[in-house]
Amino acid sequence: MELFGTAGIRGSVRDRVTPELAVAVGRAVGAGVIDDASAGDSGTGTDGGAGRPATVVVARDGRPTGEALAAAMEAGIESAGADVRRAGVLPTPALAYASQGRYGVMLTASHNPPTDNGIKIFVDGREYDRDRESAVETRVADGASPAAWDEWGGSEAVSPLAGYRRAVVEYARGHGEPADGLEIAVDCGTGTGALGTPQVLRELGARVVTLNGQVDGHFPGRESKPTPETLGDLRAFLSRSAFDLGVAHDGDADRIVILDGDGAVVHEDTVVAILAEHFVRAASAPDPVVVTTPNASGRIDERVAAAGGRVERVRLGALHEGVAAARADGGSVVFAAEPWKHVHPAHGGWIDGAASAAVLTRLVAAEGLGGLRDPVVERPYRKVSVDCPDGRKADAMAALEAALPAAFPDADVDTEYGVRVERPDGSWTLVRPSGTEPYVRVYAEADDVDALVGTVTDVVADIVADAGG
């Protein structure tokens, strides 16, 4: 049984993320928590006998289906013998914060439409890794029974939001300069970011105006996913006003989009490059590492190298695994990011849009957004999809591991997460199979990106056609 995708479990509440599934996943999570507690007490647990209490914090975003799904999740957890702490409506980063020293479950479909919902699971502030997810899937498939009647857990309400906001403010104050006088517009997208980011930025001294600042999981103001197309109101508002910065979130505030004072979206990889360079320069460790994904721009590598750090890449949706691997290899991870999603290790092990907004606010206060962007070389970037039936993907990717290096003999090649080709002039391309659709994805960045994309897609199309023979 395969339940988890790149960001938890997600899908329609009619036929995938149902109350029945929530009960089953909750019971599976609760059973794993009980096992961990027992193993920790004996010092034999997989987490080194951490001895975390058998307690799970449960929260949800503002979707109309969230309350019922949270109730089902809580019933499953308690019936396995674990205790529940009901945290109500929260941004996902606040739930992750509240899971430190214990476990957490967030009912959210992030940027998906209101017809969907989802499940994200945390332990000690980090998303479950593949091993823990597989264990949950196995328990769900096996149909685990409830614990004995006198071993069921209990529940009580908790309120971690204020503590989370204080923690973000304290963390951000270690960077940049006071934001007194800075003018910022925040589009919360009627998501739970409305409970975190505006309050944090005001505490840092900024004047904040919100758009779509009420929590409403119907997403009446705009689609939950923040894109240049869906952020039309924010872009227009900024273009006719005098603001220093625009910020936008998705439905649960793990994603962040940055806009300049004219309403133009700052490329997501430029934002990553700015933050990555800052954290490397601020690091005192001898080997500062930035973790990112194979589809991330070479501009990140350039700024990190200029600051004296190095970049390590990990598969999409697995920043927490990349951080753990880099640390195991002796590096000091100072920042981790994939497009739109950032992990601040000195703050916590979770993706946190509010923390990024807070740090960027203080950096803009110190240098201005233009000053932060000036060192970043922004080459044209393209992403295209080449038709490829699922049954051909494995053969096609195996063939591309030889064909793409042959097409670019002067390039460095990495085949760990697809085929990534980096050329001496700073241009690069990545070819990887889609995990959800019948495509092979082509990413490219180059001064003449159309020529590079054309060459790569021709190679991919020929390989896919041959794989069908």
Helix crossing, 130-142 with 19-42: angle to 10°? 120
Cα separation, 92 vs 83, in Å, equals: 20
For residue 212, give both structure tokens. Answer: 């779509």
**Catalytic residue (choose from 12, 38, 42, 110):** 110
Tokens at 289, concatenated: 């590492």
Residue 150 sits at φ, ψ, to 5 deg, of -90, 10
Q: How far apart are CA 157 and CA 74, in angstroms?
A: 12
> How far, in Å, are 29, 33, 298, 383, 421 from residue 123 at the CA level?
11, 9, 32, 34, 36
Q: How many angstroms from the chain centroid is the CA of residue 181?
A: 30
Distance CA 438, CA 389 (A): 5
CB 9 within 8 A of CB 17: yes
Letter string b/e over residues 427-461, b meaning 16 or more CB atoms within 10 A of that residue's CB: bbbbbbbeeeeebbbbbbbbeebeebbeebbebbb
Active site residue 110: yes
Q: 149: which strand partners?
A: none
Burial of 414 (0-12, 13-18, 19+ CB in 10 A): middle
Separation of alpha carbons 250 and 247, rounded Å: 11
Q: Which residues are catalytic?
A: 110
